[in-house]
Structure 1
Amino acid sequence: MSKESPGITVSKNKDFSEWYTQVVLKAELADYAPVKGLIVLRPDGYAIWESIRETLDKKFKSTGHKNGFLPVLIPESLLAKESDHFAGFNPEVFWVTHSGENEIGDRLALRPTSETLAYSMYSKWIQSWRDLPLKINFWNTALRAEIKATKPFLRTSEFLWQEGHTVHATQEEAEKEVMDILEIYKKTVQEELAIPVITGKKSDKEKFVGAVYTTTMESIMPDGKALQMGTSHFLGQNFSKPFEVKYLDKNNAETFAWQTSWGVSWRLIGAMIMVHGDDKGLVLPPRVAPIQIVIVPIYYNDKDADRVNAEADKVEKMLKDKGLRVHVDRRDQLTPGFKYNEWEMRGVPLRIEIGPKDLDKNKVMYATRHIKQKLDLPMDKIESEIDHILEKIQSEMFEAAKKMLADKTTQTSEYSEFRVALEKGCFVDAGWCGKKECEEKIKEDTMADIRVIPFGAGNSGKCVYCKGSSITNAIFGRAY
């Protein structure tokens, strides 16, 4: 890929992987770090993450969660306390073995996830029923050895995420927490990022290591691959017992607590790029766009420049006073056409063009990024109409993504049709007998796994693979 090329040089439909990489780099969301598997987040990429974080953080705090901080190093002896959990993560762990030239003894893991570290602390903090529920969220990074098949935002060795860890007195309260968090995730992804998701449970084979069960939200990308968008886990007492997270109840009896953990990562940014982007580049939903509106003044002489720039300043102030994120492109050395292409590549949802002819007619021209529609807007209607225009863009982007999900989901009870649908890049809704053997055989044969067992899933009556009685339908797909 040529770094000198200003625009996207491949089609999304012809070379999806290269298209995605070009959008990430050329829209200046991220760049590759000197260490393989790591990326550097640039200001626009970080601004999108900040928007997601602010939305979630507000929702978490409104439901009684507080933020904390955890260190990045975890002793190996601590990780080994929950053996199944540790075994699941061990292949991905980065280990610190030396301090300077000296061996440190007990190896230290660079945090792949924080259950063991958090719960060793929780066991100290929780003494009685009065200390519950304990609901803490951590905004941090995690490190996992993704070195071979890396892709910005989707698979990197270090990634930004949030991970929540809660402790409850009863199973019912903990299970309610699991579902409440999943609903917060679903609303945030659908309402802010304009990406529809399917929510439900993972199979036992696919659940989080150490969990009783895992709930998940899944979506499908334009190339037909599934992407896990976030998970919320019911841990039961699987961690409270080895880590002695227990309390004295109201009857002064010692009781092991019930726990949950949950998280989303900057993988959401990767999903947003893939779902909404086009051959021109990035397409951003207005609610998370670092710049929601770019104003491009158009003039060809000094006389026109003064009055056009004065009107651009006036419109900028009006929109910023409404709390909108606005930028005026005042670069005189570039043509309007060059500016249009650049801001389209960077995904700005709405462009306002102001030229002398527009001023003569007391109007502006606006262009929507998602469907490339250009319309006139009277000057005196800008303030009252702009919010409606942005909301319409947000809504239309979600509806388009919802249609893609529907178009790429098919239902069948025949294994031959099942395989054809997977080859076409679809989610397949099919019956499953509940046996791990069938799940593994399907994976071995087609590279597809059970992405989600939807809440309220139907039952077609027979397993798509073995033809035995099915216990439920599940959504199968090939994943990143």
Structure 2
Amino acid sequence: MKRALSVTREENFPEWYQAVVDQADLAETSPVRGCMIIKPWGWGVWELVQQALDKRIKETGHENCYFPLFIPMSFIAQEASHVEGFAKEMAVVTHHRLKTVDGKLVVDPTSELEEPLVVRPTSETIIGDAFRRWIASYRDLPVLVNQWANVVRWEMRTRLFLRTTEFLWQEGHTAHATKEDALEETLKMLEVYRVLAEDILAMPVMVGEKPENERFPGADSTFSIEAMMQDGKALQAGTSHYLGQNFAKAQNIRFQSATGELEYCHTTSWGVSTRLIGGVIMTHGDDDGLRLPPRIAPKQIVIVPMLREKPEDAELLAYCEKLKSELDQLTAFGLPVRAHLDKKPVRSANKRWDWLRRGAPILLEIGPRDMAGDNVTLIRRDKLRDGDKVISTGFAREKFLSHAPGLLAEIQQNLFDEAKARLDGNIRSDLKDFDAIAAFFGAATDDDAQQGFRGWVRAPWARPSGADLEAIEVRLKALKLTLRNVPVGQGPASGVCVFTGRPAVEDIIIARAY
């Protein structure tokens, strides 16, 4: 049977990705260049990701709040390395009024702002200004806040969910009395992100610390979770930053210690974004469209009655309504099962493929013979085909109802296991010099579709810095390679650094990336 998408992952991965976004009805481009409209199915996925993460953020003691979209230019300018890191991406508001000239709307030149406003690229500076007012004593610490917001980073090359000018995210910001407390917070939230990625998104990740050249602008340390996509590239799926006292010193965030001394706070920030949906697509999608882990599927079980515009349709619909009502009483993953009955007056075959492309985990096709035998016909989205044949399985209705929560859990685990096998099986650790690494990845090309699958390399690393690190960046950039992170929990280092020939202190992940 022909695949549901017109392009396969192997033929052209970027085109396949866009086809999945389109066919799964997740999002579309907007009239504003680089921005996207998230459609109801895509928003439903994001809501479930958001709810799962928000619950865990609150369980770790953080409170939600909100800060302005507009940030005074002077705030941004207070932290030099922060400005340098974001300068090329900032959108700036300079005027506050329009006027009509010869029937056309134009910017009123007399409405120039006294101080330009930056449209939020991230909120360290404006939140730091609030921390300065909120914190006076050690008794006020720690301050643990989070906000769900949109941000703007002006992008030249955009791709829905993965890299857009405006995107949605959460950003946590905290202030602490000591470096130890702040580092503990940084790593605690990194673990929250790992759990989100692996347990909720079924997306296995490599947890580690970013090298110096990949740190968040103004941070002392940056940690990340990195996921392997089906084209072998890495996706940075979340970051957590120990900011040291850099922002505190720039914005005078101080507290009086128990001994009466004035000290600067140690601060952190951490965030994930709608980029996670792009990661889910590229981790789990197949040549028939999206495959959603049941935990983030807006509809986990979809019932498609095979209507024929005959009098018997009323009886069949009643049978399906009863089945949906029974499913609504069940729970999976500690929450009510999300069942949906598709009553649209559309051919059942078309409805079937619509839901399969969207990635609904379980599809139930119910016809007159199923109803007569008190049965259901089940299609699992994670195991859709045997070769070219779509696999469907008959179940007695009562048996299916008793097995439905377990089937959803099995699908969730199966998607994770499949992705974990891909990650574990495609990290080379036997390449001991840069020439071997360059040969493994091959020459870089501007055509992503022709790049081919390579996977990652795990190589000995000596933590070079300064001019040495800059020279390494140049060599890597020529091959479109990046240093991803230094995996946590490593044993003693061995061998020599693949870049410098010095004794290695740890291993680092090297990959092409989004």
Spell out the pairing of 1:409-428 with structure 2 (5 A cutoff). 409-411=427-429, 412-423=431-442, 424-428=453-457
> Are residue 168 (structure 1) and residue 165 (structure 2) matched?
no
- Give the drift of 1:251: 2.1
Query: In the alignment, what sits opposite 2:61?
Result: 64
SS in 2 for 1:431: strand
- Contact persistence 2:4–2:287 (CA under 8 A): no
> Are residue 95 (structure 1) and residue 92 (structure 2) matched?
yes
Provide the C-alpha distance between the structure 2 equivalents of 1:421 and 1:404, rounded to a whole number of angstroms: 18
Identify which of 8, 19, 23 aligns with 1:11. 8
Provide the C-alpha distance between the structure 2 equivalents of 1:144 and 1:425, rounded to a whole number of angstroms: 30
Spell out the pairing of 1:365-376 with structure 2 (5 A cutoff). 365-372=377-384, 373-376=391-394
> Are residue 25 (structure 1) and residue 22 (structure 2) matched?
yes
Query: In the alignment, what sits opposite 1:139?
Result: 148
Aligned length: 473
Query: In the alignment, what sits opposite 2:410?
Result: 392
Provide the C-alpha distance between the structure 2 equivalents of 1:251 and 1:479, rounded to a whole number of angstroms: 48
Provide the C-alpha distance between the structure 2 equivalents of 1:68 and 1:300, rounded to a whole number of angstroms: 52
Provide the C-alpha distance between the structure 2 equivalents of 1:317 and 1:110, rounded to a whole number of angstroms: 47
- Contact persistence 2:143–2:175 (CA under 8 A): yes
- Contact persistence 2:307–2:348 (CA under 8 A): no
Higher mean alpha-carbon deviation, 282-291 vs 314-323, is at: 314-323
- Give the drift of 1:301: 5.9
Identify which of 436, 440, 443 aligns with 2:476. 443
Provide the C-alpha distance between the structure 1 equivalents of 2:289 and 2:169, rounded to a whole number of angstroms: 25
- Give the drift of 1:407: 2.5
- Contact persistence 2:494–2:503 (CA under 8 A): no
RMSD (Å), alpha carbons: 1.5
> Are residue 335 (structure 1) and residue 369 (structure 2) matched?
no
- Contact persistence 1:442–1:449 (CA under 8 A): no
Query: In the alignment, what sits opposite 2:35?
Result: 38
- Give the drift of 1:303: 4.5
SS in 2 for 1:241: helix
Give the aligned residue type for 1:199. V
Provide the C-alpha distance between the structure 2 equivalents of 1:277 and 1:397, rounded to a whole number of angstroms: 10
Query: In the alignment, what sits opposite 1:357?
Result: 369
Provide the C-alpha distance between the structure 1 equivalents of 2:20 and 2:309, rounded to a whole number of angstroms: 35
Query: In the alignment, what sits opposite 2:506?
Result: 472
SS in 2 for 1:166: strand
Give the aligned residue type for 1:91. K
Give the aligned residue type for 1:259. T
TM-score (norm 1): 0.95
Query: In the alignment, what sits opposite 1:261?
Result: 269
* CA deviation vs aligned residue, 1:246-273 (integer Å, no higher than 9, x gap): 1112222211111110000000000001
- Give the drift of 1:327: 1.4
Provide the C-alpha distance between the structure 2 equivalents of 1:64 and 1:433, rounded to a whole number of angstroms: 37
> Are residue 406 (structure 1) and residue 403 (structure 2) matched?
no
- Contact persistence 1:433–1:468 (CA under 8 A): yes
- Give the drift of 1:422: 2.5
> Are residue 130 (structure 1) and residue 159 (structure 2) matched?
no
> Are residue 452 (structure 1) and residue 485 (structure 2) matched?
yes
* CA deviation vs aligned residue, 1:320-353 (integer Å, no higher than 9, x gap): 2222111112223x22221211111111110012
Q: Structure 1, unaligned stretches of length 5 or more?
A: 1-5
Provide the C-alpha distance between the structure 1 equivalents of 2:146 and 2:344, rounded to a whole number of angstroms: 43
Provide the C-alpha distance between the structure 2 equivalents of 1:58 and 1:73, rounded to a whole number of angstroms: 28
Query: In the alignment, what sits opposite 1:3?
Result: none
Give the aligned residue type for 2:476. K
Provide the C-alpha distance between the structure 1 equivalents of 2:477 and 2:344, rounded to a whole number of angstroms: 56
- Contact persistence 1:457–1:474 (CA under 8 A): no
> Are residue 280 (structure 1) and residue 288 (structure 2) matched?
yes
Provide the C-alpha distance between the structure 2 equivalents of 1:123 and 1:414, rounded to a whole number of angstroms: 48
- Contact persistence 2:90–2:121 (CA under 8 A): yes
Give the aligned residue type for 2:370. D
- Give the drift of 1:105: 2.6
- Contact persistence 1:141–1:159 (CA under 8 A): yes
